[in-house]
Amino acid sequence: MAKIPYLFLIALLLLGSFNLHADNIDKPELDASSYLLIDFQSGDTLVEKNAYQRIEPASITKVMTAYVIYQELAAGNISIDDDVLISQKAWEMKGSRMFVKLGKKVKLHEMLLGLIVQSGNDAAVALAEHIAGSEEAFVARMNLVAKELKLNDTHYENVTGWPSPNHYTTASDIAKLAKYLITNFPEHYKTYSQKEYTYNKINQRNRNQLLWKDKSVDGIKTGHTESAGYCLAASAKRNGMRLISIILGTNSSEERTAYTRQLLEFGFRFYETHLLYKAGSVLTEARVWKGNKNNVPLGTIDDLYVTIQKNQYKTLKGIMEINTGIDAPIKRGDVLGKIALTYNGKVVREAPLIAMQNVDEGGYWDRVIDSVKKFFD
């Protein structure tokens, strides 16, 4: 059987989550345009409605704005101590603002707080101009990063979330971006739990009301325009299990808060997440023909999690399918089979089995002898 490129299969595993809807659980039905609840570690979908429908994200856009800034900080292209000049365009921005003054220079770390805690449109534009020279150039970078992260139903027209015909995303893409944010920039993510920020003697509270109502919630971002409705991307962690909730298109800030809380309580009440295999674990081995070794160890490169109904973990059944007729040479990382886990007869997780070592071609007589053995085998 042909060897399958590892990166292709692992991308399918990470980006294609399994839907764990169960017949014996009443799932929340909410009056929102779309919503989604996933487990952070496994990526499994617990609840969804129109999760792949393109919608207007409002200020949830600023999650990507911040993500690009974090990349620039990590690359050393900018510093948190940079002075950010407030342009006429930034100063004139409408909607939510941190109220920076025209022509003033403000430290970048202060601007980031204004962007995240106060959802400042003025901060978003000023930061974009500081990094890329113009908002338009920064938006081009946002769209490039969206493609790199496989946010296939996302396109940005500005850094603020201001309504625009070609400015859209989906609940699914927002959840993916949230996972990347929490995974790649954990230190910056801590800012999303900050409840208030004072700048220019003006104190503003974070619009994510769940930060006051649920201690397990530590982010992420609200959004609102007349056309988008009230939106909220949230994340919470309890007893080592993290959930990500996306609510889009509700009628009020109270609704988006209540609906998000309902989704999170549902997920934590009825589901649990388990680590099946740790990264680098050797699980089995495969027969190799015509090589300098007869067998190659197989395992997983990444941690493998599954989310399942509570008290049902023992009912999971696992099957390892190993390719036959494998010829050397083998490179570490080649996909030589898969693990399939089933629950109530349905596959709930699949993952590739990866060669954990290289196997070179054997000598001439090794290849001849193995060719005969393989024919009869």
Q: Which residues, other chains included, contact 64 with Cβ-Cβ below 8 Å and sequence gap of 6+?
A: 142, 145, 146, 154, 156, 177
The Cβ-side half-sphere exposure at 183, using a 13 Å CA radius, reads: 12
- Rounded CA separation 245/235 (Å): 6
> Which one from 119, 172, 235, 245 is the annotated catalytic residue?
119
Question: What's the one-letter identity of residue 147?
Answer: K
User: Are the beta carbons of 34 and 168 closer than 8 angstroms?
Assistant: no
To which residue do tokens 């989704």 refer? 263
**Tokens coding 134:** 């113009």
Residue 20 phi, psi dihedral angles, 5° rounding: -105, 30
> Which one from 62, 176, 179, 290 is the annotated catalytic residue?
62
Q: What is the DSSP letter of 9?
A: H
Q: How distant is the alpha carbon of residue 305 from its chain centre?
A: 15
Q: List Cα–Cα distances, 283 to 2, 41, 252, 320, in angstroms.
A: 21, 21, 50, 9
Alpha-carbon torsion (79, 83, 88, 92), positive or negative: positive
> Which one from 59, 87, 96, 172 is the annotated catalytic residue?
59
**Tokens coding 182:** 């929490």
Report the candidate in 277, 319, 282, 321 with the shortest Cα–Cα distance to residue 302: 277
To which residue do tokens 């050393």 refer? 76
- Is residue 119 flagged as an active site residue? yes
Q: Which residues, other chains included, contact 316 with Cβ-Cβ below 8 Å and sequence gap of 6+?
A: 306, 308, 341, 342, 343, 348
Q: Which residues, other chains included, contact 142 with Cβ-Cβ below 8 Å and sequence gap of 6+?
A: 64, 65, 68, 156, 159
Residues assigned a catalytic role? 59, 62, 119
